[in-house]
């Protein structure tokens, strides 16, 4: 069966390449807005499934889709805040100021859809990043060097962003970059694909 990654992300493509499987990529075009009353967990669960189903309209095989949000604890009696892609230096600076000394939780929805059988598997993987207490100078220098303005949370963990962290907490470091490979391997095995013998 052909394997299709429902994403245009170069980072997800690079991660999937690690498994040594042949695959193609196809970017789904869906509305990624959060629905009223929807939790971050429900959001990434729904969007990963929607991305897979959108690609299934024109492609067949095993479709891998994922969606990720970063959240910052809102404190007593307030909701967790979703950290979006900052786009500008000013927004990124504010995000990193808020994250400084705090924990950011990354939630990644992962879906594997078999278009031949209609079988769909979806999980939400959690990964936590504990930030160092950062000075404004450190934040500015980091942003100027790496310009992570298209990254949720305003950093790239696979590059210099690792210097912002006190520690990482989670089962799969790949989840932080947007594709939880350990869970994906289990899903593929459920569909008869063993990456060690393929």
Specify the DSSP element, H or E, that contains 45: helix 40-56
Please enumerate in sequence order all residues whose Cβ is within 8 A of that of 131, keeping only pairs 6 or more positions apart, or say none: 96, 99, 100, 101, 102, 103, 104, 164, 165, 166
Q: Rounded CA gap, 48 and 1, in Å? A: 20
Classify residue 173 by burial, with Cβ atoms within 10 Å: 0-12, 13-18, 19+: middle
Query: Quick one: which of 27, 44, 48 has its CA closest to 35?
Result: 44
Q: What is the C-alpha separation between 53 and 113, in angstroms, rounded? A: 8
Rounded-to-integer distance, Cα 7 and Cα 63, Å: 10
Whether 67 sits among the annotated catalytic residues: the reply is yes
Contacts of 20 (CB under 8 A, 6+ apart): 195, 198
Q: Which of 67, 80, 171, 194 is catalytic?
A: 67
| Residues catalogued as catalytic | 67
């Amino acid at each position: 069966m052909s394997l299709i990654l429902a994403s245009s992300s170069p980072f997800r493509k690079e991660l999937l390449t690690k498994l040594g499987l042949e695959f193609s990529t196809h970017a789904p075009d869906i509305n990624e807005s959060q629905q009223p009353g929807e939790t971050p967990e429900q959001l990434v669960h729904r969007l990963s499934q929607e991305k897979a189903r959108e690609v299934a309209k024109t492609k067949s095989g095993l479709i891998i889709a994922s969606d990720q949000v970063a959240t910052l604890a809102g404190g007593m009696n307030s909701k967790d805040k979703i950290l979006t892609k900052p786009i500008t230096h000013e927004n990124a600076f504010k995000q990193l100021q808020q994250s400084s000394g705090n924990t950011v939780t990354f939630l990644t929805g992962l879906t594997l859809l078999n278009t031949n059988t209609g079988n769909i598997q979806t999980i939400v993987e959690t990964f936590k990043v504990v930030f160092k207490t950062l000075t404004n100078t450190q934040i500015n220098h980091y942003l100027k060097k790496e310009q992570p303005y298209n990254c949720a949370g305003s950093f790239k963990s696979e590059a210099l962003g690792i210097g912002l962290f006190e520690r990482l907490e989670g089962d799969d470091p790949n989840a932080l970059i947007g594709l939880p490979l350990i869970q994906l391997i289990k899903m593929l095995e459920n569909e008869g694909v063993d990456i060690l013998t393929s």
